[in-house]
Chains A and B, each alone.
Chain A
Amino acid sequence: MALGTASVRLVETLRSSTFKLALIAIGLFGAIVLTLFSYVYWSTTSYVTGRLDSAIAAEQLALHKTYDREGRGGLMTALQQRATDERFQDNLYLLADPSYSFLAGNLKAWPPDLVGSEGLQNFRVPSKPGASDQSMLRAALNTFPNGDHLLVGKDADDLDAFKGSIETAFIWGIALIFVLASVATVLVTRRTVGRIEAINVTSRAIMQSGLDKRIPLRGTNDEWDHVAENLNSMLDRIETLMQEVKQVTDNVAHDLRTPLARIRGRLEKAYHRKRDGEADQELIADTIANLDGVLRIFSSLTRIAQIEAKAQQVAFRTVNIAEITRETVELYDAAAEEKGTHLSFVGDQHVCVTGDRDLIFDAVANLIDNAIKHGRLAGHVTVEVAENSEGAAVISVTDDGPGIPATEHQNVFKRFYRLERSRRTVGNGLGLSLVAAVVRLHGARIEMLDNLPGLRFRLLFPASVVSNSQTGKRETIAS
């Protein structure tokens, strides 16, 4: 079992993309090291060989001159002298007759491999007579016009050893790199695969059971923790949305079912009753009115859904929110009058934002509608449009009614949410959801403040690209 798990883990490790990436990295790195080593090897050996060759060439030249001056006998004497001279003890000499028989020098016999060769050659001879290990030698060979052969060489053991150590270093280096890289790769891959697996496990758990699971954080504050954090907040958002959807579905079901049930009941009773022209007429009219109410809720919901799903700012243009707001106030003038509310507009004449006139009108209308409905009888509702010091356009709607308790502030934007005390006023609890949706679409912000007494809603639109510099005189209209 343990072996099985281990092999599964190994297969997983080998299959992971991290591992493959690491392999590519190792390959690349290895190739670079290989090139580097080759270059060092080539350049150092050619330098050392060059030095050796020029020393041999100089010696060869000196001996040639002796031969030219004094002939074979002179050269033999010179070679004998050199054999005893300490300064030449690293050098090898051999003068041989045309049949390669020894004439003079400190090398006793012509190396059999080199019979017939000319120029620079490498060869090996036993380091001591009869010894098993061999020394590396480098020599220049040439033949005199009379057929004599001269070999001038130097001990190349140093070069050999040098080459050898570079090769060893190279082999060990490469081997070490591969071993370390492989270990590192496996470790990194294991770790990566492990973290991803943790996320996978959570995802599977979420798919199977529900949205309550979260990816555990390790507290290392690394990119994995960031990924996990982001995924977790995404899950939070999804969970909230799901709950909202469920809440909305329940509310829709309730808010639609109630009037539909009423309609159904009434129609059923009428069906079993005797036809009566006048009563039927009234029943049909009532039913249509009720259905219209249902349809209004429906269209409010779809409208909010559409605004929320709307591709950002397709039909947006520069609009003067001061004018839009003033028109909205004008429209609500009559409604305010009916309730004895003093509805007034205060503000600049030109405050421009990028947006959709219909939607802004609708949002402001909802705020004013709420302020009038939920404000005090014969109270004051003040609507103000201004640009604040940061250049943001602000629409505020203030009433002096009972306000909303601070604990309820967040709830009022939920769909169908209605304060207990406003259950009996006209409305469907969708107005502020619509305002919130419009505000979000415009990249604006909504604030709810206590006006003590009353409530102040503020919509803060981001500063428009259009300059609002010509903010004319402030105007006030009041009913």
Chain B
Amino acid sequence: MAAGHRHILVVEDDHETAGQLVESLTMNGYQVNVAANGSDAMNLGLSSTFAVITIDRMLPDIDGIEVMRSLRERGIVTPVLIISALGEIDDRVRGLRAGGDDYLTKPFSFVELLARVEALARRSDTVIKETVLRVGDLELDLVSRTASRHGRDISLLPREFQLLEYLVRNEGRVVSRAMLLQHVWDLHFDPTTNIIDVYVGRVRRKVDDRQYYPLIHTVRGVGYCVRAPS
């Protein structure tokens, strides 16, 4: 992985939030640059290559979306995660339409932010085209859409398979509930009920019950992670 791929630009005007972001990103092996306003963000964004840019909507000088739009106009294709204290719906649509790649509403958990940054950073890597995904003794056949553990078939509904596939593709990384809702159901709002947990619960029973070790792990307060014991 090239160095540029662990390099993040954080555009955030609130010092404390920026500090927290830098701390948690650095702890996870990222190199971080911070811009506290729109013009700094433009300068930094144009002068170096970043794996991901996170932009706060409310900047002291320019709207974060404008910063992103100007970067896009100047040929910067780096994935952008828009962070906003403004609500969802229209804002989200506006942000994504203007060239943003993902959207996160303040306040958010750092684990959620990390999960999303990871997902965006990975986008610039080559997408591996495989027909079979494996984690531990779990095998997903992407052609026949069947799953098995330790050679024994697991019967999954199409949607359950899709969910498991998404988790497995993000092996070792945290996947939040909102990310699941977004990628498995194509829905763009934060679930206010525990419905995703219930759904994942059923998939987990099918996948992990009566096995040598569990694969689907709950990350408290955020979501899930698929991981085989090392």
Contact = CB atoms under 8 A, between A and B. Distances in A.
A338 interface: yes
A335 B157 contact: no
B88 A306 contact: yes
A358 B105 contact: no
Given A285-B221, A295-B107, A337-B202, A358 B188 contact: yes
Interface in B67-115: 87-90, 93, 105, 107, 109
A426 B189 CA distance: 20
B220 interface: yes
B198 A335 contact: yes
Interface in A316-338: 327, 330-335, 337-338
A439 B185 CA distance: 21
B202 A334 contact: yes
A310 B90 contact: yes
A441 to B, nearest CB: 10
A303 B90 contact: no
B193 interface: yes
A266 to B, nearest CB: 16
B213 interface: no
A305 B193 CA distance: 18
Nearest to B201: A334
Interface stretch (A134-142, A150-158, A361-369, A452-460): A361-369
Contact of B195 (A307, A310, A331): A331
Given A288-B221, A331-B199, A335-B199, A314 B189 contact: no
A306 B89 contact: yes
B195 A314 contact: no
A473 to B, nearest CB: 20
A203 interface: no
B123 interface: no
B187 interface: yes
Q: Please classify how large the interface on chain B is, using the bins under 10, 10 to 19, 20 to 34, 35 or more.
A: 20 to 34
A327 B185 contact: yes
A299 B107 CA distance: 10
A300 B192 contact: yes
B183 interface: no
B137 interface: no
Given A315-B93, A330-B159, A337-B202, A289 B190 contact: no
Contacts of A305: 87
B48 interface: no
B95 to A, nearest CB: 13
Contacts of B199: 331, 333-335
A302 interface: yes
B192 A296 contact: yes
A310 B88 CA distance: 11
Q: Please classify how large the interface on chain A is, using the bins under 10, 10 to 19, 20 to 34, 35 or more.
A: 35 or more
B105 A315 contact: no
Contacts of B230: none
A292 interface: yes
Interface in A406-443: 426-428, 430
Given A289-B221, A335-B199, A299 B192 contact: yes
Nearest to B93: A315
Interface string B182-208: 000111111011110011011000000
Contacts of B187: 357-358, 361-362
Contact of B193 (A292, A358, A369): A369
Contacts of B89: 303, 306-307, 310, 358
B221 A303 contact: no
Contacts of B201: 334, 338
A306 B89 CA distance: 8
Nearest to A335: B198
Contact of A303 (B87, B194, B220): B87
Nearest to B91: A306
A303 B88 contact: yes
B60 to A, nearest CB: 23
B159 A302 contact: no
B198 A365 contact: no
A5 B172 CA distance: 86
Contact of A369 (B90, B157, B159, B195): B195
Contacts of B105: 299
B198 A338 contact: yes
Given A302-B87, A310-B89, A334 B221 contact: no
A362 B193 CA distance: 10
Contacts of B188: 358
Contacts of A289: 220-221
Contacts of A362: 187, 189
Interface string A368-391: 010000000000000000000000
A374 to B, nearest CB: 13
B139 to A, nearest CB: 23
Contacts of B194: 426
Interface in B142-190: 157, 159, 185-190
A341 B90 CA distance: 36
Contacts of B198: 334-335, 338
Nearest to A330: B159
A302 B195 CA distance: 20
Contacts of B157: 330, 333
Contacts of A426: 193-194
A428 B192 CA distance: 10
A424 to B, nearest CB: 16
Contacts of A335: 195, 198-199
18 contacts: A285-B221, A289-B220, A299-B105, A299-B190, A299-B192, A300-B192, A302-B87, A302-B88, A306-B87, A327-B185, A333-B157, A334-B199, A337-B202, A338-B201, A357-B186, A358-B89, A362-B187, A427-B193
Interface of A: 285, 288-289, 292, 295-296, 299-300, 302-303, 305-307, 310, 314-315, 327, 330-335, 337-338, 357-358, 361-362, 365, 369, 426-428, 430
Interface of B: 87-90, 93, 105, 107, 109, 157, 159, 185-190, 192-195, 198-199, 201-202, 220-221
Given A299-B87, A314-B90, A327-B185, 10 more contacts: A288-B221, A303-B89, A330-B157, A331-B185, A331-B199, A334-B199, A334-B202, A358-B188, A361-B185, A426-B193
8 tightest Cβ-Cβ pairs between the two chains A and B: A334-B202, A335-B198, A302-B87, A334-B199, A334-B198, A306-B87, A306-B89, A300-B192
